[in-house]
Structure 1
């Protein structure tokens, strides 16, 4: 057959010399070797991951034989390099994708086994003694974990799945989009795609249900995100094999010691922390009942109480039901509309006093420190404040507009922050930090996170478990799901008790502003009252003093916190301190520890 082919080729050359175009007929036997080579190459490429261990063994054999002939004295250098490489893998393997400790140890074992065998082969020869048999045994033994590794098998499955992306892209309505890279992680995988000309990431977001169907994932498993370089013609596709937020995540403890540091609210789906800076920013926590708002507030409180440059005030018109567990760390807690109004009036006075101080010193912002702490006002269920104390809501509106520069901040929690619920003021528009837990209707997404966020992919109505949230802040402009840490009641009590002894007090500027405001109020009251009898005011004052003495007499051995005395008397913190000073001077009260008082002859009750 080969002689016939040779004859046909000579005939073709003769026809070309005569100016004729020969008709070439290629024998099937000539094409067979090429077809076999292509099939083998495709098979090797398709199963390259499974063939990695024997490929490594073959490479070691060839390199060992070559070095033994040319540089047999290099064996000691290979041994030193192998040892160093193994240690580097153990110490810094996380930076190259080996996130689990077991993976780093396995990689170090492979490096040591391969390097040890290569050292022996270079010094003694690849055929010396049991070296060939040892190489075969090592290949099988160390190859088993590789072949059985879940992430490797997932990566192979993903690569094979994405090899059909050209057809998938046509089916889902994104023709011409191209796969650029893919990475498998602990929870699933993510891939980077380039869009065709004229396509946008908004189009890809609208195709999420079609992508889930084409890839065969469970509903809600696909995320479409901008790439880190924020290119308009690219997007990142993230697919979850399992939900990393399926179970509650225990709180690991405070992550900050100053409000100038970003606070970790909980992990994102890729296990990275959701950190956000609260200093000189107002915050809004929104979501339906049972969505996890209280849990999010607890995470915030657990971190703020660990900061020695923050004074915390609270408003909880549900008689303190939500914020009462933190009362020992809250400098002032209002549980009635009247107390809320007084608290916000004092906060506004502090705001103005700080602004005057900054103007006199030529500074532009209030830098929080233990001597000059920030003032953070936590308002639970802000809608009730707007309904029950509309005058107080007007003060909060002023604080929202003017409080950031002087570090007087509002953090409000509510179910639906409509304009009516927020007091028809500028409070909602001034919220720099928006945390949206699950909402009942999709239109509520724009209420909490801002106009147009729903169409941009912020789908808070699809959050399916308490504690899951979306965060919008200056440093978080991509819709990434996170889950707030869980603080149990026991953890809250333990944390509040531990942090209570380190709480700061208001600075001199703020205290002087409160005293001046109280003087103005008293002067105005006296002017308005004229010659009216002060009998009613005296009775109210006597009742508050009697309530204070009763609470001191029935205080436990370690005393009653100042916050409890403020709540029980319905008076300001300044009034309580004034009365305690008088009681102490008269020998009727004693300070047990910082912020805790009791009567000298206390009828104490065990905690």
Structure 2
């Protein structure tokens, strides 16, 4: 049955008049007449005040109240009579004078909404019939509230709300939006605060683009499931063919990261948990019997990766050692490629062909800044190392094109991306790709260290998660438990509960010495070249220029002779002069006299340094990780 809202004023006036006649029949005392009079006078005064101060709302309310009270007073005083009927008719007419324009406007708005709904593919059956608040109705309170909030914001109803599910901490729904430029998911996400206000439900609203172009995923967290740190439960696997369990998401489900064959990028602002996430992943890798870890830490003293030294195949903590390690990894790629070609196979399988390698790089941007030549090598490793079972796990605060070499966007090679809290929206786009922030990958909404968003082929809708927290004691115990033991085969043996010792045990055989190259043992990285003050030479081209001057001996060498050597980047006198002048100021190079019309230069003899014990890495070869 259709409701006739047009009859509402007449029905209200007739009901009021009838009540006043009933009051007349029961008798009206002098005091009650006085109350009627005072109320009517007060309404009249309110009307006068509104007119005096030109306040239309107050004047209208006062006039309406005075008319209604006067009608009731007349009916109560005279009962069923002509004056009472006249007063009732005046009240009814006045009500329609104000009601009809509002009713017409409301009907026009409802008709416009129905037209838009029809164009958007929404059937009329889904539209409500309340002319005061045209809306969409749903099967649940949350669904109805979400549909109404979208209509209020977009003036167009959603096509449908699907997959509404409840969790321990709130609910989640997928909304199918109507087509249109202003109804696209990223447009709705940009107005999240307005939608949350319209929704009017307690909790924190998160929005994200769904798997389809016109889908919007809405999360309402009534409580924060990730407010407390989550203790690390221990290694999650014994083989790298199983994914690493990194933490727990907002639904209480474990976050599994398929690290094998998937280069991983970890980005976010400082002090938001990048090193903590890397520690969890390293702990997973060292616990796998078919995996090895190689570490590059550009922080002085390797403060992040240093505690993992004993269980790593290699640890590089200076620019020169990092470059040597990357070259060693590249040599291993070539060796493994040759092995696969020899056996007619296309993919390196851990356990069958040998262990998988996981190369963890902390502060990738700092490595590229200090060793620019590393950018091209890392770019090549990202492109070709996967098929031979070598995976890069890189953490950086600045995931830009410059970090990945500048010529190409190396981010495309990262099949797993993990974003932690950041202050700027641009960080989301740098980690997850252009336009990611508009699709709901909002890292600036992650308010606690360790909270992150994860993207990979199987997870392309953002869901809040938090990584496990490893204490310093956890790291130390894990590193000690899985410390490397070089057996005859060169493979690491994981500690197992040992039996009771024998009365007369057989002395253990000495371990096979490391090969120092691809295919077996830890790499032996030789002492890096240094200047007379002990500082490292920045790269190979500077070292070549220094060696050329040093080789000339006491007679020295001229700029012309150095140019004739055709050294890379030193084919002009001006490029050579920059370094020679700097070394002369430091007292490392001096004039050796003229050769013809040109001045020759030679290196100043180095002071003899007292010998030090062989264990000191200033004289002995540096075994990275040992």
Does TM-score exceed 0.5, indicating one fold? yes
Residues in 1 aligned to 2:623 and 2:271: alpha-carbon distance in whole angstroms:
33
Paired position in structure 2 for 1:210:
194
Q: Deviations over 1:541-589 (max 9, x none)?
A: x9999433x6xxxxxxxxxxxxxx8x9955246xx9xxxxxxxxxxxxx
Asked if residue 432 in structure 1 is aligned to residue 499 in structure 2, the reply is no
State the shift of 1:333 in Å: 0.6
Paired position in structure 2 for 1:480:
463
Q: 1:518 to 1:314 in 2, by over 3 A?
A: closer
Contact residue 312 and residue 331 of structure 1 kept, 8 A:
yes
Matches within 5 A, 1:561-600: 569=620, 571-572=622-623
RMSD: 4.1
State the shift of 1:193 in Å: 3.5
Q: Deviations over 1:175-223 (max 9, x none)?
A: 3224456433210122344434555444443342222112234674333
Q: 1:484 to 1:394 in 2, by over 3 A?
A: same
Contact residue 274 and residue 482 of structure 1 kept, 8 A:
yes
Matches within 5 A, 1:347-496: 347-369=329-351, 372-424=354-406, 426=408, 427-496=410-479
Q: Deviations over 1:335-373 (max 9, x none)?
A: 111111111111111111111111121111111127600
Contact residue 148 and residue 199 of structure 2 kept, 8 A:
no
Q: 1:518 to 1:481 in 2, by over 3 A?
A: closer
State the shift of 1:389 in Å: 1.8
Give the alignment partner of residue 249 of structure 1, picking from 197, 214, 230. 230
Q: 1:196 to 1:301 in 2, by over 3 A?
A: same
Matches within 5 A, 1:43-122: none
Paired position in structure 2 for 1:123:
none
Contact residue 265 and residue 299 of structure 1 kept, 8 A:
yes
Q: Deviations over 1:235-263 (max 9, x none)?
A: 44221100111111111112121111111
Residues in 2 aligned to 1:468 and 1:165: alpha-carbon distance in whole angstroms:
27
Paired position in structure 1 for 2:60:
none
1:405 match: secondary structure? helix
Asked if residue 167 in structure 1 is aligned to residue 148 in structure 2, the reply is yes
Residues in 1 aligned to 2:613 and 2:516: alpha-carbon distance in whole angstroms:
29
Asked if residue 259 in structure 1 is aligned to residue 240 in structure 2, the reply is yes
State the shift of 1:483 in Å: 0.9
Q: 1:441 to 1:165 in 2, by over 3 A?
A: closer
Paired position in structure 2 for 1:336:
318
State the shift of 1:158 in Å: 10
Give the alignment partner of residue 346 of structure 1, picking from 328, 331, 344. 328
Contact residue 288 and residue 440 of structure 1 kept, 8 A:
yes
1:500 match: secondary structure? coil
Q: Deviations over 1:474-527 (max 9, x none)?
A: 222111121111001111111111122579956999955689x999xxxxx9xx
Contact residue 439 and residue 460 of structure 1 kept, 8 A:
yes
Residues in 2 aligned to 1:278 and 1:544: alpha-carbon distance in whole angstroms:
46
State the shift of 1:419 in Å: 2.3
State the shift of 1:397 in Å: 2.4
Contact residue 328 and residue 517 of structure 2 kept, 8 A:
no
1:484 match: secondary structure? strand
Asked if residue 311 in structure 1 is aligned to residue 262 in structure 2, the reply is no
Structure 2 length as normaliser, TM-score? 0.55
Structure 1 length as normaliser, TM-score? 0.57
Contact residue 208 and residue 223 of structure 1 kept, 8 A:
yes
Contact residue 292 and residue 467 of structure 1 kept, 8 A:
yes
State the shift of 1:446 in Å: 1.5
Residues in 1 aligned to 2:327 and 2:610: alpha-carbon distance in whole angstroms:
23
Q: 1:195 to 1:570 in 2, by over 3 A?
A: same
Residues in 2 aligned to 1:337 and 1:544: alpha-carbon distance in whole angstroms:
26
Q: 1:568 to 1:379 in 2, by over 3 A?
A: farther
1:281 match: secondary structure? coil
Contact residue 433 and residue 473 of structure 1 kept, 8 A:
yes
* Structure with the greater alpha carbon radius of gyration: 2
Q: Deviations over 1:104-149 (max 9, x none)?
A: xxxxxxxxxxxxxxxxxxxxxxxxxxxxxxxxxxxxxxxxxxxxxx
State the shift of 1:424 in Å: 2.8
Asked if residue 187 in structure 1 is aligned to residue 238 in structure 2, the reply is no
Q: 1:221 to 1:164 in 2, by over 3 A?
A: closer
Residues in 2 aligned to 1:174 and 1:349: alpha-carbon distance in whole angstroms:
62
Q: Deviations over 1:284-333 (max 9, x none)?
A: 11111111101111111111111111111111121211001111111111
Matches within 5 A, 1:293-312: 293-312=274-293
Q: Which has the higher helix share?
A: 1
Contact residue 311 and residue 503 of structure 1 kept, 8 A:
no
Contact residue 209 and residue 439 of structure 2 kept, 8 A:
no
Residues in 2 aligned to 1:212 and 1:285: alpha-carbon distance in whole angstroms:
31
1:372 match: secondary structure? coil
2:469 match: secondary structure? coil
1:326 match: secondary structure? helix
Contact residue 309 and residue 370 of structure 1 kept, 8 A:
no
Matches within 5 A, 1:541-580: 546-548=613-615, 569=620, 571-572=622-623
Q: 1:308 to 1:181 in 2, by over 3 A?
A: closer
Residues in 2 aligned to 1:190 and 1:335: alpha-carbon distance in whole angstroms:
46
Contact residue 468 and residue 483 of structure 1 kept, 8 A:
yes
Residues in 1 aligned to 2:370 and 2:466: alpha-carbon distance in whole angstroms:
32
Residues in 1 aligned to 2:317 and 2:325: alpha-carbon distance in whole angstroms:
10
State the shift of 1:467 in Å: 0.8
The answer for unaligned runs of 5 or more in structure 1 is 1-27, 29-156, 520-524, 534-538, 551-564, 577-594, 596-607
